[in-house]
Structure 1
């Protein structure tokens, strides 16, 4: 039975793949090309916009903070490591961000998330962009997670 399935797939899959790539790929590439041109012509100016970046103390969040700073955005940087956040904030100011706020927060705690939003609204009165770069994870097998709150935090849902 498996030989029959393999033979069938060997005879049908390559032609379907070839025709799919032949007829789908060129129009898709042309579409992406025009989309990139439109994106360049109508790109959003983030100068003066308020941007909250979670997980901004290192990695992708840090790089995003620098890119937004180069474009003149006001930044609210949130992460657990405050010293690293201070370093990122200092460099963001040097790169051109007019105002940088540092908030020590753990996104796995609802009250810390509220604190980030509250400090943003108190300082700027608005929030234009939210970059959810930080996350939480559980380092164990699902069968080993015993506590209700651990499961709730892991899935981010209200369990019944």
Structure 2
């Protein structure tokens, strides 16, 4: 797990939960909320993967619930619930599974593999990028509709 939770050991979180009000002037409800938040952090810290996703030499994805994929050092850990600080979808971004971009829209996107790019959505299930390459729509994880380009300036009249 590579996130901000790594800086806290389980023991430190347990101590924080136990002594959260020491030296503080908090109401009962505030102290309870802080203890609950620390409890959530502890649960995330203790979470163990239930399986791993791996990609074979033919770029096919597989799910391994036997626990061997981590030995291959290419498996992403799968959890029953996301660990703390799991990636959130930023405001304005749309999950591809929820809504697909329409043809002839300019979008920025992040692929399922973490690549970031922008381009014009074509009629043929591909995004055409500025460098002449294409990207398959099905590989998009999240996308953002880009605003239209401003109109070209009008020439000044001689009046």
Q: Same fold (TM over 0.5)?
A: no
Question: Which structure is higher in strand share?
Answer: 2
Q: Which has the higher contact order (CA 8 A, sep 6+)?
A: 1
Question: Which has a greater percent of helix?
Answer: 1
TM-score by length of 2: 0.29
TM-score, L = length of structure 1: 0.29
